[in-house]
Chain A
């Protein structure tokens, strides 16, 4: 039905644009990771030094592990918050379901920065939370560990990504045909049993998608540590950022970025495999 001209006209512009403005830049980054900076100048000398530096330097490895830990914490916490909320909305709410769904989505549209800033004002020594605690006489002095700690980073990122995690899980749950739930009960399985045997397995694709989102986006985040993390919560993206800024070393920064990229792409392949296995049509 579509002529060859049509197909070419339609495919060419986006293909070219993507190749030029997306693939090429990524390739540039890849190339940079094999170059060097000597005496403050970029030298196009192909080598693997940057990667060696990365693998052997305990500082970098430490930051990487901390980043993975934080990302994993965010993933678990947002799942713990997002899944029950999605389940409740999907299976336990009848009236105004659509409205409540929209209400959960609204925060997604509100600026990341705004939400990060909100936590900054809440967790600070003279922030809202400390104010409440003192007002209620639960504490008498400001609690200082709330802000400028990995805890604050995990808290902020969990807050930001819980709706992200909610979305695909909710979609998955809504897709489960209700007769399946009835059939399970008809065959003798109570609500808990039905959840474990039928609902949870069938919601796996959504759960995987949500978890991946939260983990991957947290992994590469550099704003939250700067806002609420303080110096004890430097994440790998902050390292990259400084290498492209004050600590001028584009090649090293590129090498780290490529490592992050490979890690993420590997993860995505893994989840895609799992998702294929666990999506039952």
Chain B
């Protein structure tokens, strides 16, 4: 019924909005364009198009090692954060316990605090516990810091869920364990995927915490960072472009999944009794 007659035409605002949009996108566009520029980064306009930088990128061993490391850490972080985040979300949703408010806030801290603080505290912890810095410490850092992302997303999903479904399952004879697997989890499918994608992306891009917990093996962002300190090469443009393209692809995938399952829900509502 919301026929937005309050939608008005305002050319000034439209122009401003377009300018903001451009501000958000142009740097990335420039980055992509210059990844194909023979003369490298800088100068205007870009003259000769080439795939040289990409060729160089694909031949670059250390970069791909770091990509692999990042992937391993990211997938591990997803598994750890989702598991603990799911439990935390269930706890917040259903259990009352001493210090619940405190728990809720502490869980959210890594999200709000600058990464450097979380990274340094974990460094101190590792030092006291005589843990050697390696991909394991990075995995620990990411997994712990990103629990909050999983918790927030899954908690929202739980709140939206229809309680009666779980009650119906118990009524029909299923145990709580069975109910969890057959009813609760399927209902959380969307939230789990959303949280998983977000945690994966955040982990792949994580620098602040990783900076202090890294050992010998590098992750992709830190590998890039190291090279940046030594100087700019358009190879970095090339890898950045690839990262951008993959991020966008992930978003499209996520969007498809979401609209398809929202569509399915709407369909069910329409076909219902």
Contacts and interface: CB of A to CB of B under 8 A. Distances in A.
Contact of B31 (A114, A191, A264): A114
A59 interface: no
Given A94-B4, A131-B42, A260-B117, A122 B112 contact: no
B20 interface: yes
A2 B176 contact: yes
B257 interface: no
A185 interface: yes
Contacts of B34: 121, 128
A216 B112 contact: yes
Nearest to B44: A131
A23 B122 CA distance: 10
B273 interface: no
B79 to A, nearest CB: 14
Most chain B C-beta atoms within 10 Å of own C-beta, residue among A17, A26, A222, A240: A26
Contacts of A167: none
Contacts of A94: 4, 7
Interface stretch (A45-53, A104-112, A200-208, A273-281): A104-112
Given A88-B14, A119-B27, A220-B113, A114 B240 contact: yes
Contacts of A118: 27-28, 30-31, 240
B268 interface: no
Contact of B251 (A22, A102, A127): A102
A122 B34 CA distance: 10
Given A111-B243, A121-B34, A220 B115 contact: yes
A interface majority secondary structure: helix
A56 interface: no
A107 B25 contact: yes
Given A107-B24, A118-B28, A91 B7 contact: yes
A40 interface: no
Contacts of B107: 14, 18, 22
A217 B255 CA distance: 27
A220 B176 contact: no
B interface majority secondary structure: helix
A78 B170 CA distance: 50
B124 A29 contact: yes
B45 interface: yes
Contacts of B128: 28
B248 interface: yes
A28 B16 contact: no
A121 B31 contact: yes
Most chain B C-beta atoms within 10 Å of own C-beta, residue among A85, A110, A181: A110
A178 B44 contact: no
Contacts of A250: 124
B214 to A, nearest CB: 13
A28 B124 contact: yes
Contacts of B76: none
B147 A132 contact: no
B116 A240 contact: yes
B240 A117 contact: yes
Given A113-B205, A159-B23, A264-B113, A21 B144 contact: yes
A3 interface: yes
A81 interface: yes
Contact of A17 (B10, B84, B240): B84
B42 A128 contact: yes
A162 interface: yes
Contacts of A260: 114, 117
B196 interface: no
A228 to B, nearest CB: 11
B248 to A, nearest CB: 6
B103 to A, nearest CB: 6
B147 A14 contact: yes
Given A118-B30, A135-B45, A244-B123, A159 B116 contact: no
Most chain A C-beta atoms within 10 Å of own C-beta, residue among B14, B27, B128, B147: B27
A257 B120 CA distance: 9
A109 B23 contact: no
A92 B8 contact: yes
Contacts of B250: 109
A171 interface: no
Given A216-B112, A220-B116, A121 B232 contact: yes
B93 to A, nearest CB: 9
Interface stretch (B49-57, B58-66, B220-228): B220-228
Contacts of A124: 42, 232
19 contacts: A14-B85, A14-B107, A15-B91, A17-B144, A88-B16, A91-B4, A104-B24, A110-B244, A114-B240, A115-B28, A117-B228, A118-B28, A124-B42, A130-B42, A162-B24, A191-B10, A227-B228, A250-B124, A257-B117
Given A7-B91, A26-B109, A220-B117, 10 more contacts: A10-B91, A10-B95, A81-B23, A88-B14, A114-B31, A117-B224, A121-B42, A126-B43, A221-B114, A223-B207
8 nearest CB pairs, A to B: A220-B114, A131-B44, A25-B121, A14-B88, A7-B95, A118-B27, A11-B91, A88-B17
